[in-house]
Amino acid sequence: MKKLALFATALCCLTPVAFGASQVQIFHETKHDVSQPLRDMVKQVPADKSAPRENDVRRFYNTTQMPMSAADRAVKADVNGSRPLVGTTIGLNMDGQSADGVAPPDTNGSVGLTQYVQGVNTEYNVYDKTTGAKTLGPLAFNAIWSGFGGQCQSQNSGDIIVLYDKAASRWFFAQNTFATPYTICVAVSTSDDATGTYNRYSWSITPSTAFPDYPKWGVWTDAYYQSWNDFNNGQTATNSHVCAVDRTNILAGNAATVQCFNTSSSTYFSLLPADLDGATAPPAGEAETFVDYSNTTHLNFWKFHVDFATPANSTFTGPTSVVINGFTKICTVSRSCVPQPTGGEKLDGLGDRLLYRASYRNFGTYESMLVGLAVKPVANTTATAAVRWFEVRNLGSTPTIFQQATYQDAGSKNYWLPSLAQDKQGNIAMGFSVSNSATDPSLWYTGRLVTDPVNTMEAANILVTGTGVQKNTSNRWGDYSSMSVDPSNDCTFWYTSEYIKTTGSFNWATRIGSFKFPGCN
């Protein structure tokens, strides 16, 4: 990803479009309340033992409509093993939630002052981050809305997101319901204890009849920001939605509204909202950034300025299209193309979108955001999948690509499903899935010190080695993983994703691992 000299991309001069206040949608809550302590309100529940089912993720476009032949124009591939082994100190390294009857696991998690919370499609667990002991769970995700009523209590649709609001020291849980009336459900803890009480909210997004698929969230100073993909009748792609939820009033337990825009086009897909890491807030008044890619040669950026007092002043502007080193997509004939050993099905490469999170950090002298996705390797390898990552700077005005690279194996191992973050010193960590015809699906991580040559990562370390293959699970993998940073020292990375421990159908496992770079304390 890095070069020996700073690399700044040219800009493709698309004129940003203001979607305009006339198109803002305002949703008033259907209900809010304060829960009883979660540890008292719900009892622990076993994994779902119903018939296995696929939790589908809809493609926003036919992959054949996208450019497929763009050669990767990176200066060079960043080949794993070309530099020393990533030097980190390992902390906890343990199994998380195992298969619960739904695939894929949608693995994500976040770390707080004393706890780690991991979510998988329909369940979550709370862990003591020092000992790794499970203190609550597994719980059905909608159990947090027990006694609340409505769709938030009755539906447990999956696609859950767990974040830690570092500026407020609060836990943030969210889920869209996938049964009508489609509903946004948000619960924010009233303290830094994930097992305590929550301010709970619901917003019905009617009269929309579009299925709100693949929701993603980010914490910003003025709002909790969300994106989702709209599918009419659950099948036909229409556009993407972006929404701002009134963070100030939610933290105070007051009535709160949601303001939304849409991209008015199915060209743009799976926008990621910036999610704030670190103790330094964004510059005062800076709007939230959203990012996606709609072709293999550009990243697209939007700005969402929200005004909850005067919604007519809210704007969603973009895209600003920024040139990147082109790449070739993976899984272009079928979404499933990543190989496993004999007996295993091909796995979903999820190469049609940027992958969770868009991790943002303000270093004072500059702002930085990290994103990544799976791409076709550059050359000199027989692998199907590699990881492309980007560090974006200058987010307050016209974004620029500070560094980028395709990180790949020199042989035949496939790397995909990345998630990235950086610590307070600017050291970057990236976790990802690994497999090939001789390697059971496993989890590795790599990283770079802020002093390393730009556009490079160090040699990868193994978080956990798989010991089985996935069979008859509709080829699903992911749909995302999560790298987060410990707010208590702003140094320790926590990564969670799925791997295969035992061969079988709908039989995934997950791993939770922590580590930090030397010199960051």
Quick: pLDDT tens for 110-133.
999 999 999 999 999 999 999 999
Residue 229 in domain: yes
Q: If we measure between CA atoms, which residue out of 230, 198, 235 comes closest to residue 215?
A: 230
pLDDT at 74: 52
Mean pLDDT of the region 501-515:
98
- 424-441 average pLDDT score: 98
If we measure between CA atoms, which residue out of 466, 417, 470 comes closest to residue 440? 466
Q: What is the pLDDT of residue 52?
A: 65
CA distance readout (Å), 351 to 106, 327, 444: 16, 11, 19
How high is the pLDDT of residue 7?
28
94, two tokens: 């343990």
pLDDT surpassing 50 at residue 22: no
- Is 429 in contact with 483 (CB distance < 8 Å)? yes
Residue in 161, 205, 199 with CA at minimum distance from that of residue 179: 205
If one compares 112 and 75, the residue with the highest pLDDT of the two is 112
| Domain presence at residue 1 | no
3-state secondary structure (DSSP) of residue 49: coil
Question: In 3-state terms, what secondary structure has residue 392?
Answer: strand
In a domain, 2, yes or no: no
Is residue 356 assigned to a domain? yes
Q: Which of 393, 381, 388 is nearest to 417 (CA)?
A: 388
The closest alpha carbon to 378, from 442, 326, 454, belongs to 326
pLDDT tens, 369-399? 999 999 999 987 899 999 999 999 999 999 9
- Please determine, for residue 71, whether its predicted confidence score (pLDDT) is greater than 70: no
pLDDT at 329 over 50: yes
E strands present in 141-222: 161-165, 170-176, 183-189, 198-204, 210-219
Kindly indicate the confidence band of residue 432, based on its pLDDT and cuts at 50, 70 and 90: very high
162, burial (CB in 10 Å: exposed 0-12, middle 13-18, buried 19+): buried
pLDDT, average across residues 23-45 = 88
Residue 304 — φ and ψ, nearest 5°? -115, 110
How many CB atoms within 10 Å of residue 268?
Answer: 24
Cα–Cα distance, 310 to 20 (Å, whole number): 13
pLDDT of residue 9 exceeding 50, the answer is: no
Q: What is the arithmetic mean of pLDDT over 330-353?
A: 92
Q: 61 burial class (0-12, 13-18, 19+ CB within 10 angstroms)? A: middle
Higher pLDDT, 53 or 496: 496
Q: Which domain holds residue 156?
A: 11-516
Question: What CATH number should be reported for the domain holding residue 417?
Answer: 2.130.10.10
Please check the confidence at residue 464 and state whether its pLDDT lies above 50: yes
Which of the four pLDDT bands, split at 50, 70 and 90, describes residue 426?
Answer: very high
Which residue in the block uniquely carries the two structure tokens 């194996």? 409
Is the confidence at residue 332, as pLDDT, over 90?
no
Confidence bin at 44 (pLDDT 50/70/90): low
- For residue 391, list its beta bridge partners: 370, 403
Contact 221, 246 (CB under 8 A): no
Per-residue confidence band for 41, with pLDDT thresholds at 50, 70 and 90: confident
Give me the mean pLDDT over the 497-509 stretch. 98
According to the model, what pLDDT value does residue 401 have?
A: 98
Residue 521 counted as domain residue: no
> E strands within 256-385?
257-262, 272-276, 288-295, 298-305, 315-323, 336-338, 347-348, 355-362, 367-375
Indicate whether 50 pLDDT > 90. no
Residue 165: pLDDT over 60: yes
Into how many domains does the chain fold? Answer: 1
pTM: 0.93
**How sure is the predictor about 208, in pLDDT bands with cuts at 50, 70 and 90?**
low
* Res. 8 pLDDT band, cuts 50 70 90: very low
What's the rounded Cα separation, in Å, for the pair 249 and 222?
A: 10
**3-state DSSP assignment of residue 142:** helix
Write down the pLDDT at residue 399.
97
32: in domain: yes
In a domain, 327, yes or no: yes
Q: Is 125 within the bounds of a domain?
A: yes
Residue 20 has pLDDT above 50, yes or no: no
Tens digits of residue pLDDT in 84-116: 888 999 999 999 999 988 999 999 999 999 999
Q: How deeply is 326 buried, as exposed, middle or buried, from its count of CB atoms within 10 A (0-12, 13-18, 19+)?
A: middle
Q: How many CA atoms lie within 13 A of 205 on its CB side?
A: 30
pLDDT of residue 59: 58
